[in-house]
Structure 1
Amino acid sequence: MSIPASLPLRNDLKGEEPYGAPQLDVPVCLNVNENPYPPAPDVVDTIAERVRQIAPTLNRYPDREHMALRRAFSDYLAKESDTRLDPEQIWAANGSNEIMLQLFQAFGGPGRKALGFAPTYSMYPEYARDTFTQWVTVPRNEDFTLDVDAAIAAINEVRPAMVLVTSPNNPTGTPLPMDQTKRLLAACEQASVDGADEGVHPILVVDEAYVEFRTPGVPSAVTLIDEHPNLAVSRTMSKAFAYAGARVGYIAADRGIVDAMRIVRMPYHLSAVTQAAALAALEHTDEQLSTVAHLRETREATAAWLKGLTYKGRPLTVAHSESNFVYFGLFDDRDFIFNELLRRGVLIRDVGPDGWLRVCMGTDEEMATFRAAFAEVLALAEKEA
């Protein structure tokens, strides 16, 4: 990337690179946490029919409040999380990335702070940068669980406008138990906010991008929304719903939070085509989520397999995951492991603390290729030692 020095680029953006995992033409891509199984033919037919129906209206702007889609998400959450929310408590956007950016635009800004828990999703500091919000992190425990006491202490000391916690966490897959969510909420409801009026309290944002992969029966933070007006729960259709290319995310929250996001949203931000495609997928919820149980089983099998391996005489460490990926290490030279896998046509992700790698669950054939390639690379690492 080359930006001429003569351009008036913002000073804080000088030297920055665009965010994004590598997009490489390799046989096995297991680096961006996609669902590897495409929509079924009847789902594709419904998508095409929905888009065909609205195509003659594309000379007009779409419903900027996307009420039909919000009602559909309300129905989905009632089924998936056993919680019925009003459509006005739901807001959709172009992926959960835009949802998060709107939250930072509405509640962050100069003089405001956002608090997170590292390692976590690497886009959070970029949302903060883009909105001139100060990004502050508290380290997680060694096993990547949340140090709740340290988190509460930081909430009171930092006085952030937003507290962001990902469950399951990315890149580690670590879930946030409900009792810990409630403790964070209680702390936020008592804390003050730097740069805000007296009586203003932080919002807790629970990012549930991977929540459908959790252990069945575990409740979602969505169940707490009606009792906690400072809670926002972000979701996406990109992962379990196998809809990454459609770019649809949404948030469930108190109506006050949704209305704040409506202030900063761009006019007609969600196209008629996007709304139609999302509604089509929601018509086929069971089919779209039909591979989740198998991917969960694949995750458990992959984690068990990795735990049985050694690297330079040491057993691999595998983080507990409730997502569709597994985080594992520790490697003296993770770049060597990453690049040797890539040479064998397998792309995974080198993300988070040094020494750790993340692999997304693919098809059975892709995972077999990963295992064979990784075994070869480990053997090669032993020779190089």
Structure 2
Amino acid sequence: MTATPRTSPDELPLRPELRGRTPYGAPQLQVSYRLNTNENPHPLPDELLATLGEALGHAAVDLNRYPDRDAVALRADLAAYLSRGGAPIEPAQVWAANGSNEVLQQLLQAFGGAGRTALGFTPSYSMHPIISAGTGTAWVDGHRRADFTIDAAQAVAQVREVRPDVVFVTSPNNPTGTAVALETVEQLHDATEGMVVVDEAYAEFARTGTPSALTLLPGRPRLVVSRTMSKAFGMAGLRLGYLAADPAVVDAVQLVRLPYHLSSLTQAAARAALAHTDALLATVDAVKDQRDRIVAALPGLGLTSVPSDANFVLFGRFADAPAAWRALLDRDVLVRDVGIPGWLRVTAGTPAETDAFLAALTAVAPDHRLGD
């Protein structure tokens, strides 16, 4: 039997700005040491697993009914968690969705769209321009210095020139790990009439003394801070992200959210996890220790890193980063090639994973580092 030729998406009446694009995704390969997607390597504590089973069992009884459309109880729990940081947050200021990516999508559906523009300071989280394209929002690359930090004066000048409807600031930044000064966020906010979204997916891993943009929310209704339970909470499989902002922002995203977008099971699991916040976040210091261990080891291998406030390290420099990535993979260690010439990114894992990574890098570095 003759096989039917496969149709390409570009042969369909696809929107022009989506033609030729490829889906987002990190390589999913069978290796012993998978350090490319910034997951928390520590399993959930036994006491949470027991609570999860009970919570999901209770939620399952009512699966014939739609979930709480507004996730009121979950938003109250998230507000209580955020308020632990010293900046009081009310439940009306919080909105939750299926991962922070859906939160960002809803923000762009509400404040971006056709004829509107989003600006972000690249290299940064690659989903920002992808979600922008998916919502019909034009994308503009902002500027960073050679050390990947943001020059506040230059950034403000570009924002005033472009006049974007949405400005993305990722802090700590992915893939570089650098945090953004609150003064820079303030200046960017004051320079635009659009929304400013501070993506704080890795905030819990920040070094001591690194403040959160949550403290800037009072009096700034155009400022949004997005967070996730995928990283520090170790709940990547749950897909729960959330934002904190003025209640008017929450009202706005509810205009575009799908009805009953957050399942009863997701809400129950997230609330169970938040009830065990201290146990879940107990692994954060262990992850930070491995991050700092990687940073400390790099100079001895003739390599360097970008200062990191996240659970990963951007390291280099390499004469050919893709070749170095392949050489590490050949030694059963998967890191991330983020497309920055000369640099690779590694997730801080368990001590055993760090051992394996550093052993592989020790073997690889002499043949691949820049200048050798």
The answer to whether TM tops 0.5 is yes
* Whole-angstrom distance in 1 between the partners of 2:186 and 2:344: 31
* Whole-angstrom distance in 2 between the partners of 1:318 and 1:249: 29
Q: Aligned pair in 2 of structure 1 residues 4, 75: CA closer, same or farther (>3 Å)? A: closer
Contact 2:121 2:143 in 1 (8 A): yes
In structure 2, runs of 5+ residues without a counterpart are 1-5
Q: Give 1:214's aligned amino acid.
A: A
* Whole-angstrom distance in 2 between the partners of 1:358 and 1:335: 12
Residue 328 (structure 1) shift: 1.1
Specify the alignment match of 2:332 in structure 1.
345
Specify the alignment match of 1:93 in structure 2.
97
Residue 344 (structure 1) shift: 1.0
* Whole-angstrom distance in 2 between the partners of 1:2 and 1:171: 34
Q: Give 1:46's aligned amino acid.
A: T
RMSD: 1.5
Counterpart mapping for 1:174-213 below 5 A: 174-188=178-192, 201-213=193-205
Specify the alignment match of 1:150 in structure 2.
154
- Per-residue displacement from partner, 1:221-245 (whole Å, max 9, x unpaired)? 1111122111100000000010000
* Whole-angstrom distance in 2 between the partners of 1:187 and 1:94: 31
Contact 1:171 1:352 in 2 (8 A): no
Q: How many residues align?
A: 366
* Whole-angstrom distance in 1 between the partners of 2:355 and 2:164: 45
SS in 2 for 1:251: strand
Counterpart mapping for 1:69-218 below 5 A: 69-79=74-84, 81-188=85-192, 201-218=193-210
* TM-score, normalised via structure 1 length: 0.92
* Whole-angstrom distance in 1 between the partners of 2:14 and 2:189: 39
Contact 1:213 1:296 in 2 (8 A): yes
Structure 2 residue 265 is matched with structure 1 residue 270: no
* Whole-angstrom distance in 2 between the partners of 1:346 and 1:73: 36
* Whole-angstrom distance in 2 between the partners of 1:82 and 1:273: 30
Specify the alignment match of 1:355 in structure 2.
342
* Whole-angstrom distance in 2 between the partners of 1:375 and 1:203: 45
Q: Please, which of 227, 231, 235 is the counterpart of residue 223 of structure 2?
A: 231
Specify the alignment match of 2:15 in structure 1.
10
* Whole-angstrom distance in 2 between the partners of 1:10 and 1:50: 43
* TM-score, normalised via structure 2 length: 0.95
SS in 1 for 2:141: strand
Specify the alignment match of 2:354 in structure 1.
367
Contact 2:10 2:20 in 1 (8 A): no
Structure 2 residue 321 is matched with structure 1 residue 329: no
Residue 258 (structure 1) shift: 1.2
Structure 2 residue 297 is matched with structure 1 residue 291: no
Contact 1:36 1:363 in 2 (8 A): yes
Residue 62 (structure 1) shift: 0.1
Residue 11 (structure 1) shift: 2.9
Q: Aligned pair in 2 of structure 1 residues 288, 113: CA closer, same or farther (>3 Å)? A: same
Contact 1:28 1:347 in 2 (8 A): yes
* Whole-angstrom distance in 2 between the partners of 1:99 and 1:74: 16
**Alignment identity in percent?**
51
Residue 317 (structure 1) shift: 2.8
Q: Give 1:335's aligned amino acid.
A: P
Specify the alignment match of 2:28 in structure 1.
23
Contact 1:173 1:321 in 2 (8 A): yes
- Per-residue displacement from partner, 1:255-295 (whole Å, max 9, x unpaired)? 11111111110110000000011001000000110010111
Structure 2 residue 65 is matched with structure 1 residue 60: yes
Contact 2:295 2:304 in 1 (8 A): no
Residue 96 (structure 1) shift: 0.3
Q: Give 2:179's aligned amino acid.
A: P
In structure 1, runs of 5+ residues without a counterpart are 189-200, 311-315
SS in 2 for 1:164: strand
The more displaced of 58-67 and 296-305 is 296-305
Residue 144 (structure 1) shift: 1.1
